[in-house]
Amino acid sequence: MKIKRCSMMLSFLLLSGCVETDVIDDILMAESEGYDYIGNDKVVGTITMPNYAEGGVSGSGGGGLPSTAAMMNSASTITYDGRSLVEVLQKEGQKTITAGKLRLMLFNQAYLQHGLNKVLHFRNQDPEVGRDLFLAMVDGSCFDLLTGSYLTAIPISRYAYDLIFQNEQKNFPQTNLKSFFYNYYGYQTDPYMPIIKKEKQHLVITGVALLKHDKYAGRIAGENNVFIFKALMETFKYGFYDYEFKPGEHIALENVSSQIKYAAEAGNSPEPRITASLKIIGYIRQGNPLLTTLDYNTSIKKNLQKELESKMETMVSQFQEKRIDPLGLGDLVRSYTRNFNSSSWKDRYPNAHFRAHVTIDIAETGVSK
Amino acid sequence: MENVKIDETRQVSPVNTLFLVLGMQIGISILSFQRVAAQNSGYDNWVSVALMGLSTLGVMWIVLRLLHNEESYGQPELFSMQKRFFGRWIGTLLNIYVMSYQFSVIVIFMRGYIEIIQVWIFPRLGTLSFAAIFSIIIWYTVMGGFRAITGTFFLSFVYLVPLHLLNILAIGNAHFSNLLPMFEHSIGDLAQTFMKMGPCFIGFETILYFYPFIKRPQQAGKWCYFGLLTTTALYLTLSLVATVNFSPGELKTEVWPALSFWKSIHFPLVDRLEYIGIVYWLCVLIPNVSLGAWIVSRGIKISIPLIRQKYALVFVMLMITLSCALIRDRQQFDWISHWIANIGLFCMYVYIPFLLFWQWLLKKKGAKKD
């Protein structure tokens, strides 16, 4: 009995001892990667690590090292395309750099134009990094964005992550690596990602970059357009649409709930028909002092519906012209069609008829009359 | 030897067959079957999974029937049964064959688990050292007897409930349109998937070995069926989760879709859920390999009565350790597991019904003699 117990205890001890360890104080955890394409299959790669410069170890009486203040917080190098930056930058690392906590992958526009497939394939193959990180395009250079100084003390990776996360609860469509892969590997879908930009000492999210499989194919800029894109994409709760009903006269519609439903007909014909019906329940947050509730509910509402409908149809027809499908309309048609002919879909997609129906329900108009 | 009644202090109550059946069915393939299932029948794969699950109920009926009939002739378990059916020599040969099958199943399971640890967490983990240390734990469990093994099965069931509830998180951003249009794949495609689902569902036939260890075995039947239905529900949810979470093209690239799914879940305190899931999987591994080792060592005891089970067990554990280390890469692993799965499928749908038929023949012959 004793032998059994002893061997049991021993085996647990041995199990914990048979592989390498990473002590959290002794490693650098890369939280963001930036890829700047400079031509000729060469990239400038930048990674950042959080740097907690909080002074000395409390209770150490002034002795010892300051906790992690001496840790480097970014590194960059020129390397070839499609390589893990963490591996390349190991030689610059003051301590072992690990990629496990990666939160952000940034690319400049040139990189997107060059094509993402190498880095994406690598990321999919990699067991170390999670799938809830954000991919984003940077207007300008990733190096400048990641190594710049900002009006905040939190590390840049966290700052940019929070910025994207916050906005994806509002007007911007949700994109993490998981949904990106979904669209990237999907047969009738194309991925998209947010665009961020450094403006002086701030970060701004400016739009959505559209990709054709793995290459840049254009962008959606402006909050209103992004709102429409998101409304077509998913059901969501927070968002603002700014409607100019007369020159210089605006109302802001706050989205309490929006529901998008699609239907498709004649999926195997040369000209499939797709209908989207969008239902928005909204608040009016800011409007002309002379307007009354009745005014909102009659002409303004009707015009707003029409505007949204026409903007949606234009947006989709632009996608069709570029032959990209970020909304996954092809996949939608497939799910509505028996024996869907996927090989000819690429040719039929530009001819598809897209109609949008918008109904807006203005629930409240604020607390004053 | 033949008619030894198992002492009641070493038996388990009938409810436990639920955990035993369920536990043996959940193996390493639960993490990877989704890709294989989607290969031939795409988004209709759940049909095959459901059919497979229901067909196991039929096989279970045959197995229980076989065991129940056998009670009046001798020890109701496969080793004694084969000896009685086919005579001493052929019976022993068949015993060796089923033992080596059971042995390979646990080796595959253990090696598969080590492979996952090596790929996801510790690439520098030595197969031999892990298998050796792990064998000690298995040895310890099996030495506790059949009741202790059943205990680990119960615990693994309880531990795994939260892990399986995680599938709820898939609903948030599921693409349910991936399931449409339903029933578009031909029967041939579905049948191919059905064949490939074998390795997931095999394992419940181990009741052939531990049946005498169940108290009031007549009552065990319904728990066996409950166990099978639970497994079917579990596999069905997992295949649906994979279908709605991954686009068809993406699913093709994932070796372990379940782990990739866990990879995208992120809690404030737990950044990487799949690490927890993988380590958690240890409590599936322990009962499975324990029961396998118990079966093989008991088989040795029954075939060669001179050897006591506890010495046979040491030999079995040594062999498992060595065999694990012998499988070097994924090609070999895939090749072996492919064959094991085919043999298992053959056992389930051909050999077991054949045994029932043979038993009936023997009975008729016996009746004629009288």
Asked if the C-beta of A147 comes within 8 angstroms of chain B's C-beta atoms, the answer is no
**Bridge partners, A276 (sequence order):** A262, A356
CB distance B216 to B7 below 8 Å: no
CA distances from B279 to B147, B275, B325 (A): 24, 6, 20
CA distance B304 to B315: 14
Contacts of A165 in chain B (CB under 8 A): none
Return the CA Rg of chain B. 21
Asked if the C-beta of A175 comes within 8 angstroms of chain B's C-beta atoms, the answer is no
CA distance A278 to A181: 26
Contacts of B249 in chain A (CB under 8 A): 185-187
pLDDT of residue B87: 85
Q: Which tokens hold the place of A1? A: 């009995």
**What residue in A sits closest to B128 (Cα-Cα)?**
A18
pLDDT of residue A51: 65
- Of A85-99, A301-315, B24-38, B286-300, which range is least confident? A85-99
Most confident of A9-13, B270-274, B335-339: B335-339
Contacts of B317 in chain A (CB under 8 A): none
ipTM of the complex: 0.84
Task: State the pTM of this model.
Answer: 0.87
pLDDT of residue B2: 47
- Encode pLDDT of A237-264 as tens digits: 888 888 888 888 888 888 888 899 999 8
| Amino acid, res. B251 | L
Q: Do A336 and B247 touch (CB under 8 A)?
A: no
Which of A2, A4, A162, A182 should we substitute to test contact with B (largest number of B Cβ atoms within 10 Å)? A182
Q: Do B266 and A337 touch (CB under 8 A)?
A: no
**What residue in B sits closest to A174 (Cα-Cα)?**
B173
- Encode pLDDT of A118-135 as tens digits: 888 888 888 888 888 899
**Bridge partners, A274 (sequence order):** A264, A354
Window 220-259 of B: residues touching A by CB (8 A cutoff) are 245-250, 252-253
Give phi and psi for A29, each to the nearest 5: -100, 110
CB distance A222 to A207 below 8 Å: yes
Which of B125, B253, B260 lies closest to A18 in CB terms?
B125
The alpha helices in chain B, defined as continuous H runs, are 16-25, 33-41, 45-70, 78-120, 127-143, 146-165, 187-196, 198-201, 207-210, 220-245, 248-251, 257-263, 273-280, 282-303, 309-326, 330-346, 352-369
pLDDT of residue B1: 43
Four-point Cα dihedral B213, B218, B219, B224, nearest 10? 70
Q: Which tokens hold the place of A97? A: 């750099």
Q: With 80 as the cut, is the pLDDT of residue B206 above it?
A: yes
How many other CB atoms sit within 10 Å of the CB of residue B268? 5
Higher pLDDT, B238 or A54: B238
In degrees, rounded to 5, the angle at the alpha carbon of residue B202 between the alpha carbons of residues B201 and B205 is: 125
Q: Do A11 and B136 touch (CB under 8 A)?
A: yes
CB distance A349 to A330 below 8 Å: yes
Could you give the percent of chain A with pLDDT greater than 90?
29
**Which element (helix H / strand E) includes A318?**
helix A301-322
**What residue in B sits closest to A178 (Cα-Cα)?**
B264
**Average pLDDT of chain A to the nearest whole number:** 84
How many other CB atoms sit within 10 Å of the CB of residue B195? 15
Q: Which tokens hold the place of B282? A: 């240890």
Q: With 50 as the cut, is the pLDDT of residue A31 above it?
A: yes
Q: Do A18 and B133 touch (CB under 8 A)?
A: yes
Q: Do B175 and A131 touch (CB under 8 A)?
A: no
